[in-house]
Amino acid sequence: MRIESITLRELHLPLKHFFETSFGRTESRRVLLLTACCDGVEGWAECVASEGPFFSYEWIETAWATLRDFLAPTLIGTELSRAGDAAAQLARVRGHNMAKAAIENALWDAEAKQKQIPLWHLLGGTQPEITCGVSIGIQNSHDQLLEKIETELAAGYQRIKVKVKSGWDIEVLGKIRQRWTDIVLSCDANSAYRPSDLERLRRFDDFNLLMIEQPYWDDDIVQHAKLQRELRTSICLDESIRSARDAESAIELEACRIINIKVGRVGGFSEAIAVHNVCQRGNIPVWCGGMLETGIGRAHNVALSTLPNFRLPGDVSASQRYWTEDIVDPEIEVSPQGTISVSDKSGTGYDVKKDLVEKLTVRKEIIRGQTVSA
Ligand code: OSB
Ligand code: MG
């Protein structure tokens, strides 16, 4: 496949309901979409960098600049035999995984369309149906949270994950468990705790949680290993796993028993598959994380979730939980059993609503051949 041009677009989309984690609240998304034009076929992807550098150092402006000035110029005009080969070309840029993933994933999308096969087959997926959970942010009140959980359970979701931080944790988990003794429940701290919180974290063992996600620093595996030895509850790492090598370290040190794979966080589908394979060999189940994506990123998460070691429900949920109108057709829908049946159409099986995308676009830049400066 020859990469002819790359288009970056920024869209503004208000969330139906704010999403709050231990690091802050998001009311509206600035979404970066990338289109790669290859031999006349368009591949689409979403860059999951957020509005600010809080989940990771990347945010929409660093991703845009890195894509425009370094990543896109590296690939434009080159010929690749497969999308997965892009990763090696992009490796000269250090970090900026979310920016890299946007470009690589658009190429996978284009390759699937060119070959007229479903993207999930191209990725090596084996599960035609995936299981879904929801991630529920910190709310204005405990009652508001309980109401949200009730709604999502009624919709059929198979696992409830709630965001926690000091002061929105023990009491909240207690109230949830009092009302629902045996739902599959987990929590996500997004690095809200420190080793000095150990006694508080021990109390999480009272709530029969499937896991506690990312209790400590994003850049630390050793401290998580120490914590895992102290807790009955399984630790799941999200922010700390940026590559297959990180996954190997975490498994070797027994820092977690579960890993969340976000394709953007690890730099694209080829590294996501590598993380998946390392975990499969280490008997560590994985699940697919989410980053408040539109249907474009969401469709890629659906495809990734079909790989065999995705053994736990992911944060891959319906478009209508986030958006008044999603930018793909059909929208991502979840069955009353909390599952998504994956399409057998070529590509993702979800078509981009180009007119709507154009209407929502506030910034656009088309990158054609140029040379990369050292
Ligand atoms: O840690 O999983 C996370 C959203 C933004 C940043 C980080 C996280 C999340 C979520 C949302 O939990 C998952 C979703 O897209 O529904
Ligand atoms: Mg997380």
Strand partners, 329: 351
CA–CA dist 45, 3 (Å, integer): 15
State the distance from the centre of ligand 1 to the C-alpha of 290, rounded, in angstroms. Answer: 5
State the distance from the centre of ligand 2 to the C-alpha of 284, rounded, in angstroms. Answer: 17
Question: Residue 117 in contact with residue 342, Cβ under 8 Å?
Answer: no
46 Cβ inside 6 Å of ligand 1: no
Q: Give the pairing of strands 328-329 and 351-352.
A: antiparallel
315 Cβ inside 6 Å of ligand 1: yes
CA–CA dist 311, 365 (Å, integer): 39
pLDDT score for 371: 52
Burial of 96 (0-12, 13-18, 19+ CB in 10 A): buried
**pLDDT by residue (tens digit) across 88-97?**
999 999 999 9
> Does the pLDDT at position 374 exceed 60?
no
For 332, the enclosing helix (H) or strand (E) is none
Strand partners, 24: 21
332 Cβ inside 6 Å of ligand 1: no
State the distance from the centre of ligand 1 to the C-alpha of 74, rounded, in angstroms. Answer: 30
CA–CA dist 178, 161 (Å, integer): 16
CA–CA dist 135, 164 (Å, integer): 11
CA–CA dist 332, 296 (Å, integer): 10
Start-to-end C-alpha separation, the chain: 26
**pLDDT by residue (tens digit) across 29-78?**
999 999 999 999 999 999 999 999 999 999 999 999 999 999 999 999 99
The amino acid that residue 164 corresponds to is V
Q: For residue 190, which atom of ligand 1 is closest to its CA? A: 1
Q: Is 115 a catalytic residue?
A: no
pTM exceeding the 0.85 threshold for the entire prediction: yes
| CB proximity list for 56: less than 8 A, separation 6 or greater | 49, 98, 218, 239, 265
Q: Is 262 a catalytic residue?
A: yes
Q: For residue 260, which atom of ligand 1 is closest to its CA? A: 2
**pLDDT by residue (tens digit) across 191-247?**
999 999 999 999 999 999 999 999 999 999 999 999 999 999 999 999 999 999 999
CA–CA dist 309, 179 (Å, integer): 32
Write down the catalytic residue from 100, 113, 163, 165.
Answer: 163
**pLDDT by residue (tens digit) across 329-366?**
999 999 999 999 999 999 999 999 999 999 999 999 99
Closest by CA to 346, choosing from 80, 121, 103, 81, is: 121
